[in-house]
Amino acid sequence: MTTYWCEHAQLPDKIHRGVRLTVVDGRFTEVVSDTKPRDTDTRLRGVVLPGFANAHSHAFHRMLRGRTHGDGGNFWTWRDQMYAVTARLDPDTYFALARGVFTEMVASGYTVVGEFHYLHHGPDGKPYDDPNAMGVALIAAAEEAGIRLTLLDTCYLSGGLDSAGHLPLDEVQLRFSDGSVQAWAERVEAMHDSALVRIGTAAHSVRALTGEQLAEFATVVGDRPVHAHVSEQMGENLTTQLVYGASPVEHLTDAGLLGEGFTAVHATHLSDVDLDLMGRSGAGACFCPTTERDLADGIGPACELAAKDVPISLGSDQHAVIDPFEEIRGIEMHERLKSHERGRFGVTPLLEMGTSAGYRSLGWDGGRLAVGALADLVAVRTDSRRTGGVAPAQIIFGATGADVTDVVVGGRRIVSSGVHPLGPVDDIVSEAIVAVRSAAT
C-alpha cells in the first residue's frame, strides 16, 4: 500500500484540499479530502490532476519538429518530408527515438499514449525476422519511459485514393503493408497485453483500405480499441464521395466500423449527417489541436460533437508540441476563434477530454482520481512564472508541461520533483534525435 497526500487534487466533482490517495495493486482504493499529511505519506505540492492521455501519437514524426516551415507547403508536401524520415528507422533507431519521445511525454504529464503504428517492416517491405520487431521496439521504449501504451497496430494496404480509385503502394509505403487484412490480423495476434501495454487496432484511413478491406477489417478486430484517421483533409472527403458516393464517416458506417470502441482521429470536416451518425453510433473523436493548426487542416466541430454526446479525446499526433495543457487549451481557444465567444467548454469537460476520455478511447480504466481507477496522476506546481496567481481549479489555463513536477503511473512514482529515472530528459531526447539523424539510409 502507498499513500499520496495532495495539497490540492482535482476529484471528479471539483478541486479539494488535503486529499489522501491510497493505492493498492496499482489502483486507488481510498480517496479522502480535508486531511492532514502523515509521516508515511508521499507529499505532492501544487495541484494534483488525473494522468493525461495522449490518444494519438506517431512517435517518428517528432523528427520533423521545427524543420518543415521553411518553404511553406501543405499537408501533402509535409507528408513527403515525413516519409523521408522512415528511411532512417529500423528496430534499433525506432526504439531510441520512441524512448526519447515517450520520456518527453511522461515528463510533460502524459501517463498513457496511443501509438498509431504502421511502420511495420523493412524498407523494401520485407518483414524482419520477428515480423513485429518494430512494434516490440515501441513496447520496450514505453516500458523504459514508464508510460502506459496502447499499440494501435495499423492496417495499411493502399497507397491512396483519387477519383479513379485506390492507388498502389509507392516505394516508401511498402513497409507499411502486410499485403492483406488476414496477414495483418495474423501478425497482430502474436502480440499480447501486459500490465502496461494494450494491443489495439487501427485502419489507417479510408484512403489506405478499399471498402471491401474495411468491411473485412471490421470482422477481425474483436473487442480491441479501433482508431482511424477520418476527414482530416477536404481532399479526402471529395475523393471518397467521388469513388464511394459517401463521406468517410458514412463509408466507415457502411463497412461496419462506426460504433462503441471506435475513435475517429481528427474528424475535422464533418457534415450534419456525419455528426448524426457519430452521435448515434457511440463512437468517439480524437482531436489533435496543435497538429491540426500546424498542418493547416482546419478547426474541427468540437461543440457540435459534444452536443451529440460524442466523447472527445486529445492527442499530440506529430509532436510539433508535446504538452497536454496546450492540447486542452487548443480545443477551447479554437472554439473561441470560430464563435467569438468565451467559455465554450467548462473546465471539467476540458479536463475530461485530456484525461478520462482518452483513457476510454485507448481501452484503459483511468484518467480520474476515484476509487477503483488506475492510480495514474500528475502534480503541477503553482509557483512558477506561468502558474503564479492561477486559481488551482483553473490550472489548465496557466500551466505547461514544464510545470509538471511529479508523475505516478500505476501507483509508481515515475517522475519525482522533475527528475526521471532514465536521467535528464533534455539529454535523452537530444541523443535520440542524433541517433536517428546519424543512421545510414
Quick one: CA dihedral 354, 356, 362, 366, positive or negative?
Answer: positive
How far from each other are the two terminal CA atoms of the chain, in whole angstroms?
A: 50
**Catalytic residue of the set 178, 274, 297, 317:** 317
323 is catalytic: no
Find out whether 206 and 239 touch, Cβ atoms under 8 Å: no
Q: Which of 286, 288, 301, 297 is nearest to 233 (CA)?
A: 297
**Catalytic residue of the set 121, 166, 266, 269:** 266
Where do the H-state alpha helices sit in 345-388? 347-354, 356-361
* Complete DSSP assignment for 389-437: T--GGGGGGT--GGGEEEEEETTEEEEBTTB-TTS-HHHHHHHHHHHHH
Q: What are phi and psi of 53, to 5 degrees?
A: -110, 125
Distance CA 303, CA 131 (A): 42
Find out whether 79 and 176 touch, Cβ atoms under 8 Å: no
317 is catalytic: yes
Q: To which residue does cell 514508464 refer? A: 146
- Please identify every residue annotated as catalytic: 266, 317
